[in-house]
Structure 1
């Protein structure tokens, strides 16, 4: 009962600390240090998923030497698969357990036992938390449950931290776009800046914007970033499923551009190195006037807040086009009015 109360107090203390830690580096260090302190362990290491490589890499650790040899990231995928199935992996004797790599290195490091649990956010494994002990330990159900709870709490804290940083980045993106709209009436320059800023801030391979030419019925390219000329030549048709639905006002997410039936030019996508796509309409008032496409070179899951951000940016682009068009129309009306007034003056 005493140990249970200690775990409860530790968990309350850790949860409070997670909620007040701002920097991601500090948060990750807090997770591993909390695991060591709460479970009287030698060391701990947090591995986080690298989406670009689809690997789990050591991101924060404490109690291990700098040259400690972790498991090969490719082989670590099998460990993650087993973790997702079992919920944890316990290795009471690392020196003799055949499931482990580099057993001699672990023994030399002073590691006797190892407990590993997944770090999850909304049923998705974003990392792995490993706990190392200096003496042989048969981990009890309470210890396993506590480390699982700690990993879950850490996953929530990491997700909230990432969301906070995304919101800050999104706010800056909106400010940059607003500043660009206010600084020039060159609509092509505004849209070029928009494609560059979105690609760079959201870590995308490329972004393009096409506007609908009502006379020809084609989607004409007006701005792009990060895409080859050969790839840009294939996208002006409006009869593809993605273009048709976007022009009807629907935002579409294509998780795998090389296999999705909605994609006509799969070979071109593969050649260009495109894995996932977002297609969203560009509106001016209540009318769809074009399409913005965002391309990722890795398979990605796009969060609801990011999708909302993308749709808002496309809407801002449409407003910029509308404002510039209205200004040009007013300039033309002004010129016509001046010419009309001058012709009347000539009568006197």
Structure 2
């Protein structure tokens, strides 16, 4: 019998020992798979071997290692018929010959072009769980015996143990490395509130830690709810500008909170722009949701140069970094909003202060607890005060006119009645009595409560003096008019009396009557001089007399 059909027990044991010895020396899962597919064909007298690993996120088998077959054969969309794949998923090996004649799936053309005629498909198990598929291929028709199948199944189990062991060892090493890296990234992203610095730290650190080509971060913009690229490393500008990825199937899944691992990004229908991906040299993609404590705010993507099966540890680490980064991003966004709000408030305050300072009246802005929160330049310069001396002080302390009962009553009325109040007040100062016109106006919040009280004070002393002067002038005009009218009325009888007295005097020669008549004439002349003065009055002075009588002295 031919050796390919009837391996004796010694040869089987020798092959088994050789394979287990080799894979026991490997420390990396990829090294285990490469070693198996290269060493098994010559030992088992087959032409080719492939290993595919189960991607639990998509429930598909991705290529792990291959030897002896073309890339076109490996890239076929269907591995085998549904019946064979169902048997493998149940943990049962299958052997088939005459594949060039009996093929009933869409990838038969690639199988025929490759010249594959027989195949032994073996589930790779670990703890009774299928983690992959080992396939042994021949280009000649061959019937695998039960002994060969059982032996190959034992080898597949050893491969499963080796893969799981190396995976666990690698994951333990990775966990230590990831914990240290996570501590460093967490320290970096939480040491600043600068959003750009946080994003840059993540996209530059992650590729180095995970050994991938590149990293991108896209954040959902609240205004449009669309993903916008905000940070990237390791990619060309041409690739980054290829277009929107918002409608990719992988993105929809990620935005629902699930990670998506894509083994062959150049062909996987869950991503778009396959030509751009191939041109950029991208083989595999891991997409991770970025979330804060409440919601998903973006997508983080890791891109590799070589085909890569992302391990649970790598996915968990990337998700932890994304979550840590998401919280830091949200804090930085909130800080940026607060900063912008403060800048806007400061700008508005400066604008308001400029307006207030340009007014030729004194302005005070008061809080409901009667403290000064703003004062304009006119107030400060008028009372020779600084902002430090005024802001935050009680109204009755800062305001020079608040000591009057009317002031306290007016402010209390505004605070309680929530309506404007206007009062006229007098204030003694070094320059004399000052008249103040004061308006107190409440500023109400959305609930109708007093948020501020604005007091505008205008010094109307000059206006009051002008009014008094005008009143004096009106009085003077009245006195002058009255004096002129009285003089006119007195002049007519006065002149008649004086003329008559003078005629009488001319008739008298001597005697007592002449002296009396001279006195009368002299008094009439004095009255005449007085009426003449009354016609030239320019002012007067009033002097109190006996009782309620006032004497007016004409000027």
Give the alignment's TM-score, normalised by structure 2.
Answer: 0.38
State yes or no: 1:56 paired with 2:34.
yes
Whether the 8 Å CA contact 1:195–1:225 is kept in 2: the answer is: yes
Matches within 5 A, 1:1-348: 45-46=22-23, 48=26, 56=34, 78=48, 123-124=131-132, 154-331=162-339, 336=345, 343=374, 348=398
Q: Distance in 2 between matches of 1:314 and 1:265?
A: 25
Residue ranges of structure 2 left out of the alignment (5+ in a row): 1-12, 52-65, 68-87, 95-122, 135-150, 351-371, 376-386, 392-397, 399-555
Q: Distance in 2 between matches of 1:228 and 1:203?
A: 18
Summarize deviations over 1:237-259 as a string: whole Å, max 9, x none: 52333333333433322222122
SS at match of 1:263: coil
Q: Distance in 2 between matches of 1:146 and 1:54?
A: 16
1:180 positional shift: 0.4
1:173 positional shift: 1.9
1:333 positional shift: 5.9
Whether the 8 Å CA contact 2:29–2:166 is kept in 1: the answer is: no
The alpha-carbon distance between structure 1 residues 161 and 125, as it changes in their structure 2 partners (threshold 3 A), is farther
* 2:466 aligned partner: none
Question: Would you say how many aligned residue pairs link Structure 1 and Structure 2?
Answer: 258
Whether the 8 Å CA contact 2:292–2:323 is kept in 1: the answer is: yes
Quick check: which has more Rg, 1 or 2?
2
RMSD of aligned Cα (Å): 4.8
Q: Distance in 2 between matches of 1:238 and 1:159?
A: 34
1:325 positional shift: 2.5
Q: Distance in 1 between matches of 2:245 and 2:162?
A: 47
* 1:136 aligned partner: none
Q: Distance in 1 between matches of 2:266 and 2:157?
A: 38
The alpha-carbon distance between structure 1 residues 189 and 151, as it changes in their structure 2 partners (threshold 3 A), is same
Q: Distance in 1 between matches of 2:205 and 2:242?
A: 24
Q: Distance in 2 between matches of 1:149 and 1:157?
A: 12
Whether the 8 Å CA contact 1:275–1:297 is kept in 2: the answer is: yes
SS at match of 2:48: helix
1:77 positional shift: 8.2
Whether the 8 Å CA contact 1:217–1:238 is kept in 2: the answer is: no
1:203 positional shift: 1.5
The alpha-carbon distance between structure 1 residues 235 and 189, as it changes in their structure 2 partners (threshold 3 A), is farther
SS at match of 1:275: coil
Summarize deviations over 1:263-320 as a string: whole Å, max 9, x none: 2211111111112212222123322222111112222222223222222211111101
The alpha-carbon distance between structure 1 residues 320 and 277, as it changes in their structure 2 partners (threshold 3 A), is same
The alpha-carbon distance between structure 1 residues 311 and 156, as it changes in their structure 2 partners (threshold 3 A), is closer
SS at match of 2:333: helix
Q: Distance in 2 between matches of 1:259 and 1:214?
A: 32
Q: Distance in 1 between matches of 2:278 and 2:32?
A: 18
Whether the 8 Å CA contact 2:22–2:35 is kept in 1: the answer is: no
Whether the 8 Å CA contact 1:204–1:294 is kept in 2: the answer is: yes
1:232 positional shift: 0.6
Give the alignment's TM-score, normalised by structure 1.
Answer: 0.57
Greater relative contact order (Cα < 8 A, sep 6+): 1
The alpha-carbon distance between structure 1 residues 286 and 157, as it changes in their structure 2 partners (threshold 3 A), is same
Q: Distance in 2 between matches of 1:230 and 1:54?
A: 37
SS at match of 1:281: strand
